[in-house]
Amino acid sequence: MGTTYTNLLFHIVFSTKYRKNIITPEIQERLYEYIGGILREQKGILLQIGGMPDHVHILAKLSPSLAISDVIRNTKASSSKWCNETFQTNTKFAWQRGFGAFSVSFSNVAQVQKYIENQQKHHKKRVSWGLRPMLYTFTAPQLLQSATKYLALHATSNRCVDTNALRA
C-alpha cells in the first residue's frame, strides 16, 4: 500500500473589498477562529493568522487533495457570509477578488509566524503602500526598481500585480 507524505506550507494574504477597514477589534478574534475552522474542514491546519483592519495574513498547512485556489475561495466565501450573518454593521463584509499565496519552507516557518504575529507593529513603521511591501519581500532585488515604477503607474488599481510583467 502506497503512502503520501507532504508538508505544503503557504503564506496566504487577501484583502477586504476596496481595502475597507472592516475587520474591527470586535470582529477580528472571532473571524480568525472561524477561518481556522474553515481551513480544518478543508483538511488544512492553521499555523498563524493576523493582519490589519483591511487584510489578513494566514500561515497554513494545506492538503494535497485540494487546490489552493479552491481552499481560499471557500475560506473567503464562507467567512464573509458568516460575518454578514453574525455581526450587525453598516457595511457589508466582503473580500476583494484575488489573493497572494507563497510557499514557505519548513526552515522559515518561525520567521513567517513572527512576521504575521507582528502585523500591527510592522504596519506602524511603514507608509501604506498596498502590495509594495509584499513585492519587496518576495521579489528578487534586481526587480525592485522595475517594481517601483510599475506600482507607481498602477497604485490606484485594485488588481494583483503580475510579477512577470515586471521583467519586461
The model's pTM is 0.74
Domains and CATH numbers, the chain: 8-125 (3.30.70.1290), 128-168 (no CATH)
Contact 118, 56 (CB under 8 A): no
Contact 23, 31 (CB under 8 A): yes
Nearest 5°: phi and psi at 2?
Answer: -80, 150
pLDDT in tens, the chain (168 residues): 688 899 999 999 999 999 999 999 999 999 999 999 999 999 999 999 999 999 999 999 999 999 999 999 999 999 999 999 999 888 899 999 999 999 999 999 999 999 999 887 766 665 444 555 554 454 444 344 444 544 554 444 444 444 444 443
**How far apart (Å, rounded) are the C-alpha atoms in residues 77 and 81?**
6
